[in-house]
Amino acid sequence: MLLAALAPANVLAAPFAAYVIDARSGKPIYTQNADTRLHPASLTKMMTLYLAFTAIERGQVRLDSLFPVSSNAAAEPPSKLGLRAGQKIELRYLIRAAAIKSANDAATAIGEGLAGSEAAFAQQMTQMARALGMRNTQFRNANGLTQEGHYSSAYDMTILGRHLFYDFPQYYNLFSRRSADAGIAKVSSTNKRFLDAYSGADGIKTGYTRAAGFNLTASAQRGNKRLIATVFGGTSTAQRNQVMAKLLDSGFTRVPNRVREVRPAPPQLLAQKVVRRAQVAPKPAATQPQPQQLVLKASAPPARSSRPAGSTAAMRDPLAEAMRTAQKAEITRSRLTLASSSRPRLRPAARGTAVEDAVATAVASSVARTPQTASLAAPVLAASARPAPAPRSRAGGASTAAIVAQAGDDQADAVAKAVAEATAADGNALSLLASPAPKRRTDTVILAAMGEGDISEPEALEIVSRPADSGRYWGVNLGRYRSQVEAEKLLLTTALQDGSLLDSANRRVADTVRGFEANFVNLSKSDALLACERLKARAQECRVVGP
311 is catalytic: no
- Note the pLDDT of residue 348: 55
**Rounded distance between C-alpha atoms, residue 537 and residue 540, angstroms:** 7
Q: CA quadruple 84, 87, 93, 95: dihedral positive or negative?
A: positive
H or E, element range at 87: none
Give per-residue pLDDT as tens, 43-92: 999 999 999 999 999 999 999 999 999 999 999 999 999 999 999 999 99
Quick one: average pLDDT of 328-354?
A: 56
First-to-last C-alpha distance (Å) of the chain: 97
Q: Domain limits of the chain?
A: 2-254, 474-545
- Note the pLDDT of residue 402: 46
Beta bridge pairs of residue 433: none
Weakest mean pLDDT among 241-245, 296-300, 351-355, 373-377: 373-377
Q: Of these residues, 80, 101, 102, 205, which one is catalytic?
A: 102
Give per-residue pLDDT as tens, 269-282: 755 555 556 555 55
Between residues 444 and 538, the one the model is more confident about: 538
Between residues 351 and 35, the one the model is more confident about: 35
176 is catalytic: no
Best CATH choice for the domain 474-545 from the list 3.30.70.1070, 3.40.640.10, 3.40.30.10, 3.40.50.40: 3.30.70.1070
Rg of the chain over all Cα atoms, to the nearest angstrom: 60
Contact 201, 218 (CB under 8 A): yes
- Note the pLDDT of residue 524: 86
What's the pLDDT band for 5 if we cut at 50, 70, 90? very low
Contact 29, 251 (CB under 8 A): yes
Q: Which amino acid is at 403?
A: I
H or E, element range at 477: strand 474-481
Contact 164, 264 (CB under 8 A): no
Q: Residue 363 pLDDT > 70, yes or no?
A: no
Q: What is the CATH number of domain 2-254?
A: 3.40.710.10
**Three-state SS string across 173-212, please?**
HHHHCCEEECCCCEEECCCHHHHHHCCCEEEEEEEEECCC
Residue 187's closest CA among 95, 112, 110?
95
61-75, 395-409, 437-451, range with greatest mean pLDDT: 61-75
| Mean pLDDT of all residues belonging to the chain | 77
- Note the pLDDT of residue 495: 82
Identical fold between 2-254 and 474-545: no
45 is catalytic: yes
- Note the pLDDT of residue 250: 96
Interacting residues of 447 by C-beta distance below 8 A, sequence separation 6+: none
**pTM higher than 0.75:** no
